[in-house]
Amino acid sequence: MLFETPFSADTYDTPENYPRSAWEYLTLGSRFSFYLRNFAVFMKVGCIAKAGKLTAELQAKYALENVRITESCGGRVHLRGLNHLDSFSEPAVIIGNHMSLLETAVLHAFVRPRRDFCFVIKRSLLDVPYFGHIMRFMGCIPVDRVNPRDDFKTVMEVGTARLKAGKSVVIFPQSTRSALFDPAQFNTIGIKLARHAGVPAIPLALRTDFLGNGKLVKDLGPIHRNNPVWFEFGTPIRNIAGSGKAEQEQIVRFIAERVKAWGGQVREEA
């Protein structure tokens, strides 16, 4: 581990009676209690990344700010399976469901101290002020989501290069963020990358619908303060066999079971 964080143990739960921020009262309990502070963090990190001075420790520090912002808005954060990130040193493909912008805001707080990583992202995100600087600095893998064949080739080639350089890859194999986990929309690109590069795959189940997706502006959705925030990493999957179908089913089952157990929404397969 590079340095100590509040998430050095295998699990974490927001302490009981975590204090609400004064921003909750200044913004009359609106969604802006979260977003104003969250965007301020993105601006700071983006400026540091643009200057070429972003480090793993700084990314973890500012992501921890986002965790604390969430908790000060009434969010209850629960982490499980962090030991699976510590169980080996080689790079891996972390494959998870995608619900909201919260995961990209806080993952650095507990993953970054354990391993270097990048995301597979939509290319258009590189043009987002501040956020684009962070994604470029991380060496994220941009895809266009226009031609699936071209995107597959990019992920296999660039993803394998990142993994061989020692950087893990976080991939959300859904077409878009959704509070509903739909196994039919969870494609196999992550498990295929892990098989192609010869590295382990780590399942990641999450529930982050504490932040809703907005109807007019997707990144400014409502805050659902009663929805808990969950992240759980599963046992690493090694030696992926054949097409990886069995391993893909294992990951989908892990995510579906966890999301259901946390009170989230899962579309049942026909």
Q: Could you tell me if 186 and 173 are in contact, meaning their C-beta atoms sit under 8 angstroms apart? A: yes
Q: What per-residue confidence (pLDDT) applies to 3?
A: 52
User: CA-to-CA distance for 226 and 113, rounded, in angstroms?
Assistant: 29
Residue 4: what pLDDT? Answer: 64
Task: Enumerate residues 6+ apart whose C-beta is below 8 A from 227.
Answer: 207, 209, 210
Nearest to 233 by CA among 55, 50, 92: 92
pTM score of the predicted model: 0.95
The token pair at 130 is 């501040």
Ranges of each domain in the chain: 78-266
pLDDT at 216: 78
Averaged pLDDT in 10-residue chunks for the chain of 270 residues: 74 96 95 96 96 95 97 98 93 97 95 95 92 94 90 96 98 90 95 97 98 85 96 96 93 98 88
CB 169 within 8 A of CB 86: no
* Joined tokens for residue 183: 């196994």
pLDDT the model gives residue 1: 46
Residue 241 CA to residue 32 CA, distance in Å, equals 47
How far the first Cα of the chain sits from its last, in Å, is: 43
